[in-house]
């Protein structure tokens, strides 16, 4: 465990044995000489966006997750589709992603300040951290030095992103394939303490849950929660509802308390109480805020080291001063 000064914060950074190899060429303060204002510029753009629309904080955290789980943290999720290729962002699991314009705004300013220096992949990692902090979470140091990937395929997103219907065992396996532990999986699920979920992602839990009769609600969801969600979704099939109704815009432990009360919105949320080990982790995070925020920062650093491009691999995107096209 090392203490690192980031701006006015002193934060703990853990590079544990399991992620040492992935983090080998990433380092905190990577742009200290080449673009010393890099993190400040990203933080400023994220702050501007979140002040105007707090929901973008959850969107930016999700963007980073969806990037890292597909081909590693290489900003491939930001690339636009072309006439010959459907990109990750147009895959069905990514249709509701948002925050692209925030990354573009940061990239445009960074290209003006230090052209061809800061990768889109690092901007994503910085923006996710800043979104957590701006909604009340604790700061953590982000190792940087990622390079941008040259390939983006919708089929890869479909194959690698865990579905919102996944069981605890399936989630554990999906995270393990990325070098992340079961504790990391439960902790990172806590990001659902901010943001919304579209009704289409959980409508099957509200009615027609019994495959035999085609009726009934998911018994793992409290009746009051199911009734409330059904009412909200009944008004508009495309509606989006908070995943942590108690404090939807605050990065806190409310999500874990909701799961313990059988109020998890997604099946992949509530399933965390179906396994003794993951349920115990939910309890730990729910009742120890310091433990949760510490674990969360460490897990984000580990996730940020998944199979990224470093050194001379990949590129630093700079065409049109945005992250949507290759050089």
Point out the residues that are catalytic: 66
Say how far apart CA 168 and CA 275 lie, in whole Å.
7
CA contacts within 13 A on the Cβ side of 204: 8
H helix intervals, the chain: 38-52, 55-68, 100-113, 120-134, 154-160, 168-176, 182-189, 223-235, 254-260, 267-270, 276-287, 289-303
Q: What is the secondary structure of 189-225 as a DSSP string?
A: HGGGGSSEEEGGGTGGGTSS--TTTS----TTS-HHH
Angle at 311 between CA 307 and CA 312, to 5 degrees: 110
Q: How many CB atoms lie under 10 A from the CB of residue 253?
A: 21
Residue 27: both structure tokens together: 């380092």
Say how far apart CA 129 and CA 142 lie, in whole Å.
8
């Amino acid at each position: 465990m090392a203490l690192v000064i980031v701006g006015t914060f002193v934060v703990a950074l853990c590079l544990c044995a399991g992620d040492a190899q992935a983090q080998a060429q990433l380092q905190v303060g990577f742009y200290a000489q080449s673009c010393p204002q890099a993190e400040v510029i990203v933080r400023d753009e994220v702050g501007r966006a979140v002040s105007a629309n707090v929901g973008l904080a959850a969107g930016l955290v999700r963007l980073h997750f969806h990037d890292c789980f597909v081909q590693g943290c290489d900003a491939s999720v930001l690339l636009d589709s072309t006439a010959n290729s459907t990109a990750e962002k147009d895959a069905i699991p990514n249709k509701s992603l948002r925050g692209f314009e925030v990354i573009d705004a940061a990239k445009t300013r960074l290209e003006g300040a230090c052209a061809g220096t800061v990768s889109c992949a690092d901007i994503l990692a910085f923006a996710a951290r800043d979104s957590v902090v701006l909604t009340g979470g604790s700061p953590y140091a982000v190792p940087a030095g990622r390079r941008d990937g040259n390939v983006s395929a919708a089929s890869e997103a479909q194959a690698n992103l865990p579905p919102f219907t996944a069981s605890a065992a399936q989630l554990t396996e999906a995270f393990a394939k990325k070098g992340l532990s079961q504790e990391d999986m439960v902790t990172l699920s806590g990001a659902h303490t901010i943001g919304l979920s579209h009704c289409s992602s959980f409508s099957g839990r509200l009615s027609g849950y019994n495959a035999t009769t085609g009726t009934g609600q998911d018994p793992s969801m409290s009746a009051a929660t199911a009734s409330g969600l059904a009412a909200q979704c009944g008004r508009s099939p495309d509606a989006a509802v908070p995943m942590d109704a108690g404090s939807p815009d605050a990065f806190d432990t409310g999500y874990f308390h909701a799961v313990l009360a059988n109020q998890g919105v997604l099946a992949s949320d509530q399933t965390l109480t179906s396994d003794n080990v993951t349920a115990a982790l939910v309890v730990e995070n729910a009742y120890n805020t310091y433990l949760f925020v510490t674990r969360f920062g460490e897990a984000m650093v580990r996730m940020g080291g998944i199979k990224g491009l470093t050194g001379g691999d990949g590129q630093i995107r700079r065409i049109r001063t945005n992250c949507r096209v290759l050089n």
